[in-house]
Each structure stands twice: as C-alpha cells, then as structure tokens.
C-alpha cells in the first residue's frame, strides 16, 4: 500500500516522502502512476534536507553572521502573531530606532520538542534559506530580508511586512482577477523569476500562497525554503513543491530511474499555473483523485472552458499555453514571457524597467472591449428588479426609499431577488468545479457601478 497523508490546505511535497492536503488516501501500489514516490512534509522544518556534502553545511554555517543572544530584543519589539508552523512562528514586529513595521520569522531550534538531530537539521535548512535570500533579496520582486539573528535556541529572520497578505487570499476574495491586474502581477513575477534564474537559483515552490501583496500594485516572491543554488549544468531529482504546481519533469524523474532530472524550467511551469488560476478562478490541473491529477500534469492536459474564458484575450491564453508545455525545451522562459504580446502593452514595459530600478508605479493598459451580452443581461435583470420594487410586488411590508438604501437586505424578498440575479450571472462559477461554494459569490465586493444600479 502507498500511504499519502494530506494535512495542510494546499500541501507540499518534500524530497522522498509525501504529505499533501485534504485527506488520507490508501492506494494499491500496482495502480499507482508514480510507483516510487513517497512524499515528505512540506514544512521546511522537516528532518530531511538536500545537501551535497558536509562541506556544504559548513559553508552555510560560516556565511551567516551570528548575533548576540539578546540581539533581536535589543533592536526590535515583537507584536501579535501572524502565523504559525510546526517549528516556527511569524510575528509582526517594530524596529525600535525607526518605528518601522516588519515581520519576523522565529524558528525554534531548541531540543525541548525535537531531537538534537532534528534541531541541527532545522537550523541548517533555515540558514541555507537565509543564504539564498542574501543573494537575491535586493530585487524589487523578491521579499526583502531586513535582518537576521541567532541564539542557541531560536533563529530570527526579519522581513518586510506584507500588509495585504497572500495572493491566495486576494484571489479567494475576488474569485478571479482582471487581465489588467493579472498583467501587473505577472510582470513582477516574471521579472523576479528571471532574476533568480540569472543567478542559477531555482525556487521550486512558486504558488499563490508564496506570493505576498505588499501594496495593491506590488507583489513579492517569498518562502525560499525549497530554493536551491544550482551549479552549472546541474539537474535535480528530489521531489519538492506543491501538488497542483508540480511540473511534469518533476514527477517523471521520480517514476523513471533513467530520467535526467529537472532544472530551472519547473518555475516557469508554476508561473503558468498561477496565471491560469488568477484568470479562471481555479487551477488548470485538479481532480479529487491525486493520481488522475498527476496524469493530467504529466500529459499537460488542461482546457479553456468557454463559459470561463470567453471574455479573456487570445494573448493571455496563448501565454499560458506556452508556459504549460510538457517539453522543457519548448517551454517559455520567464525572460521571454516578458516579451510576449500579452505583456507588451504600452506602459507594461515601462513598469518592467522601473522595477529594475526599484520604482513601482501604477500601470493602466488599454481598456479591453466590454462584454455587451453580459451587460445587456445585467440591464434586463436590473430593470425587472426595479420594476418589482416600484410596483410593490416584492414586499409584504412597506419600506421607504431611505430605509432600503441604508439596509437593502432588511427585506428578505430583496435578499432572495439579489441572490437569484447573482446566480443568473455568475452561477457557472459554482457549478463548474466541485471545490466552489455558494459563499464565494457573496464574499466579493460589488463594483461601484453595480451598487448604483
């Protein structure tokens, strides 16, 4: 039997043992596509880490500056908790000298709740992540590491604060994003990944949860726990990443001993998954059964369903199709993606240049044509709704215009009518894909023009 345990909301593969999210599956090994994949817990604080030799560990150890035990508390004040992991806590903190707000990741390397071996491994993994960040965090699209301290029992990594949260949370609120917003985000992601690849660094865990929103117009790449500094021509075989974002070659090199391995191209595939998800509101490769999902990934099988993609430009779909290519030789690189027609609207290139100099400005690309059919449909529903309000057929109790303006959902009839209209326009979001719920339709903020209607 092959055992998969799925504890986290998304789940991540780590090396040669597996944990993904949602449930526990027991599958006969003979029917498993990936016969030799055993997955390990995502949390970067797991026992196993990938180091070529003990010399690599010594190199990491020597390149990190170790501060006095009270260093962090001397310069910073820790505030409320933002998140927790198996062996780490992220808190908001303030710098005492400047009053600026930051986020600090506090990693517990004591031996109270873990063995000495686990504590040592955890320390080395964290120091490896810090060392990679030191090489690349000067880029505008990569999270900035502001400070680092080490004590005998804790590591403190101070990062810039992301007040807007994860891109995953933004998409949950909006369901799907406009092409303008997606273009803005992808410009920064392509630019950041191109920079990483120029340094021969592969991230290996690009996903919505690891993209942080600093402001409404600026995002950064974070979580370098699985990142790897590659040597010239080096290929990797170990399994790192999150199920729906894994590239075909990552899975295949676990199945076939003669597979050469994977390299930087896995990040470009993940960018294609991210872009598809932002425009469609769901991932391109997803299925209740993990094995079917993995088969879909290996074959590169995804589709642009008409009811979801009819209003999306041809250029956007073409860019995604060139990123989600199984053949790594034909897959678009992050650098080339920046030159794709979808990305080269006037103003977008201007933004790319400004990113390299550390300047972020709002870009307003040309407006895309409106969907006249949908606008006409909305107008009909609005007219019917207003007519029923005016003739009083909706109400058993009379309300003044001022009362309805302040508390429109005071009347159950209005609430039901609004729900029916919402489903008439956006119902396919709920019907398409088992993981959607009715709540998604009503968790979003209405557009101002719809409020006026």
Annotated catalytic sites, by residue? Answer: 205
Rounded to whole angstroms, the Cα distance separating 190 from 120 reads 35
What tokens does 240 get? 């790192």
Q: What is the largest CA-CA distance in the chain?
A: 82
- Give dist(CA 343, CA 4) in Å, integer: 40
- CA dihedral sign of residues 205, 210, 214, 217: positive
> Does an H or E element contain 148, and which?
strand 145-150
Task: Decide: 373 and 231 in contact? Cβ < 8 Å.
Answer: no
Tell me which DSSP letter residue 87 carries. S
Report helix, strand or coil for 240. Answer: strand
How far is 60 from 231, CA to CA, in rounded Å? Answer: 16
The structure tokens listed for 266 are: 């896995």
Phi, psi at residue 18, to the nearest 5°?
-130, 135
Dist. CA 108–CA 128, nearest whole Å:
16
Count how many residues are written for the chain: 453
The strands making up 24-27's β-sheet, listed across from edge to edge, are 24-27, 2-5, 17-20, 11-14, 240-241
Residue with tokens 């998140």: 83
Nearest Cα neighbor of 160 from 204, 219, 241 is 219
Report yes or no: 274 and 319 within 8 Å, Cβ to Cβ. Answer: no
The secondary structure of 255-314 as a DSSP string is: H-TT---B-THHHHHHHHHHHHHHHHSS-SS--SSHHHHHHHHHHT-----HHHHTTS-H
Write out the two tokens for 374.
Answer: 């949908």
């Amino acid at each position: 039997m092959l055992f998969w345990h799925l504890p986290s909301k998304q789940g991540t593969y780590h090396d040669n043992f597996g944990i993904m999210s949602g449930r526990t599956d027991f599958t006969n090994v003979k029917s498993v596509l990936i016969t030799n994949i055993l997955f390990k817990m995502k949390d970067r604080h797991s026992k196993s880490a990938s180091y070529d030799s003990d010399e690599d560990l010594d190199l990491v150890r020597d390149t990190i500056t170790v501060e006095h035990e009270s260093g962090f508390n001397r310069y910073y004040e820790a505030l409320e908790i933002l998140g927790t992991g198996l062996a780490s806590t992220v808190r908001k903190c303030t710098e005492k000298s400047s009053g600026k707000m930051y986020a600090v990741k506090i990693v517990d390397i004591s031996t109270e709740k873990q063995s000495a071996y686990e504590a040592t491994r955890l320390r080395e993994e964290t120091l490896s992540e810090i060392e990679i960040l030191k090489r690349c965090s000067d880029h505008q699209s990569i999270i900035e590491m502001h400070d680092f301290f080490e004590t005998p029992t804790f590591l403190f990594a101070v990062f810039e604060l992301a007040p807007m949260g994860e891109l995953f949370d933004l998409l949950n609120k909006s369901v799907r994003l406009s092409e303008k917003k997606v273009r803005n985000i992808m410009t920064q992601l392509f630019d950041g990944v191109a920079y990483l690849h120029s340094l021969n660094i592969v991230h290996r865990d690009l996903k919505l949860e690891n993209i942080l929103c600093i402001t409404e117009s600026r995002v950064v790449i974070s979580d370098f726990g699985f990142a790897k500094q590659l040597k010239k021509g080096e290929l990797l075989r170990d399994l790192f990443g999150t199920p729906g974002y894994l590239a075909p070659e990552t899975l295949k090199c676990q199945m076939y001993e003669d597979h050469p391995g994977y390299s930087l191209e896995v990040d470009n595939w993940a960018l294609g998954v991210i872009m598809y998800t932002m425009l469609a509101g769901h991932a391109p490769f997803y299925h209740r059964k993990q094995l079917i999902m993995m088969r879909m990934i290996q074959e590169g099988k995804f589709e642009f369903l008409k009811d979801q993609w009819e209003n999306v430009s041809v250029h956007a779909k073409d860019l995604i199709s060139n990123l989600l290519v199984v053949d790594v030789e034909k897959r678009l690189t992050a650098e080339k993606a920046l030159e794709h027609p979808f990305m080269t609207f006037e103003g977008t290139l201007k933004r790319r240049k400004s990113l390299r100099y550390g300047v972020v400005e709002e870009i307003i690309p040309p407006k895309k044509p409106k969907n006249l059919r949908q606008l006409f449909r909305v107008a009909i529903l609005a007219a019917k709704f207003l007519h029923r309000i005016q003739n009083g057929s909706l109400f058993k109790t009379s309300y003044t215009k001022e009362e309805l303006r302040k508390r429109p959902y005071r009347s159950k009839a209005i609430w039901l009518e609004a729900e029916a209209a919402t489903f008439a326009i956006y119902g396919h979001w709920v019907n398409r894909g088992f993981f959607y719920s009715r709540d998604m339709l009503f968790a979003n903020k209405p557009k101002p023009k719809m409020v006026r209607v």
